[in-house]
Structure 1
């Protein structure tokens, strides 16, 4: 029997349950596989600051779970049933991989320019395929050329105002961009954007925010 602090599907599911998130057996297996691979690769690649899978789960993955709740409540009702989503600067697959474990409608592109990270993301998906979830290796501006999305997710890819300018014109009508931040963001006059939803939650000592915008 696995030791108590092992990254087993049952223990991962228990930690999530205590945090208010119920996982199916398949979801727990997928998340356990991701966390195990993340910690294995993290020893040589420094993908995330966490050095134990439980720290990564509680401090990083749960952000993705809260994001899924925010999307379902505030964002997805305004989008097509099978939206095209972009996750720019995906890094270690956060929020993308855990988000897609819970929600896998439409296409979800994880865009990352760093080779080693795209290899990691592709390895995760090869071992635990997630419907509609794809990896693009290359710069975001090259990926976006000639394309449009219904949803764009950003977690520290670039400063938020620069990000709004960067993706302007690349959202389908009514599309949304969502930021994961440590402060509430508000659209200002003349930006060409308007707020389209906000939520916050407490994680440890931090209050974390989800802020959605749509082109005005």
Structure 2
């Protein structure tokens, strides 16, 4: 079973946007002034240095977009149940930083379907960090789709769209592609059910990227028969830790071998 530490591949998988100068934690004060966001210097430092630990170098523009997205999450979450997380710093860690662990393992471009996107996690952070990706956010709740479309406009992002629908009903909303290079699922369901829901959007060479907790080994074991049936192979199981949160988390990547 492939099993890697997230930090072990950082030197060779460092992600850089050559059009923007990567920011370091000593350059933070002007971000607050420029964006007029409510992020503290400590929070910005956590985001930038946490991303670096995952092999992701954020540009000034990307940091500003993350700050704006976090503002939107906090504001809308007071009016509707986007997430059970209410504390701003915890949102930054679990909703903005956590998705970035997957970025070094994604193609430099290509198509991404985020199934059960909810508050846009992980799809929006991945799009901010790698603008070349074409991202579709699939969410069943109309209010959350409204939030996603509002944030896409607010952030000025292109090559990303939100769709209302349920993947498991196989009723593909107009605009979705028949298949994607990458399908992501975070906090959707146990792995076996996630595979069942997401597999119709995979084609040969596609990957399914999921984020898992302490029950990861049992979930993989329970899914073995279905994975074989659907010609999916466990490509990577990567352990990592988020700042200030304690236990290990796992990035599980499945690859579609044949159709």
TM-score, normalised by the number of residues in structure 2: 0.71
Aligned equivalents of 2:134, 2:140: Cα separation in 1: 19
- Other structure's SS at 1:38 match: helix
Query: Following TM superposition, by how much is the alpha carbon of 1:89 offset from its aligned partner in structure 2, in angstroms?
Result: 0.5
Q: 1:165 to 1:49 in 2, by over 3 A?
A: closer
- Matched positions, count: 206
- Other structure's SS at 1:44 match: coil
Query: Following TM superposition, by how much is the alpha carbon of 1:164 offset from its aligned partner in structure 2, in angstroms?
Result: 1.8
Q: Does 1:47 align with 2:86?
A: no
Which residue of structure 2 aligns with residue 31 of structure 1? Answer: 66
Q: 1:23 to 1:12 in 2, by over 3 A?
A: farther
2:101 to 51, 58, 66: 66
The runs of 5 or more residues in structure 2 that have no matched partner are 1-28
Q: Does 1:90 align with 2:117?
A: yes
2:127 to 84, 100, 106: 100
Query: Following TM superposition, by how much is the alpha carbon of 1:66 offset from its aligned partner in structure 2, in angstroms?
Result: 1.3
Query: Following TM superposition, by how much is the alpha carbon of 1:12 offset from its aligned partner in structure 2, in angstroms?
Result: 4.6
- Other structure's SS at 1:17 match: helix
Q: Which moved more, 1:135-144 or 1:203-212?
A: 135-144
**Correspondence list, 1:158-197, <5 A:** 158-182=189-213, 183-184=216-217, 185=220, 188-189=224-225, 190-192=228-230, 193-197=232-236
TM-score, normalised by the number of residues in structure 1: 0.84
1:132 to 148, 155, 159: 159
Q: Which segments of structure 1 move beyond 4 Å, counting only runs of 4 or more? A: 9-12
Aligned equivalents of 1:146, 1:58: Cα separation in 2: 31
- Other structure's SS at 1:45 match: coil
Which residue of structure 1 aligns with residue 45 of structure 2? Answer: 14
Is 1:200–1:210's contact at 8 Å kept on the other side of the alignment?
yes
The runs of 5 or more residues in structure 1 that have no matched partner are none
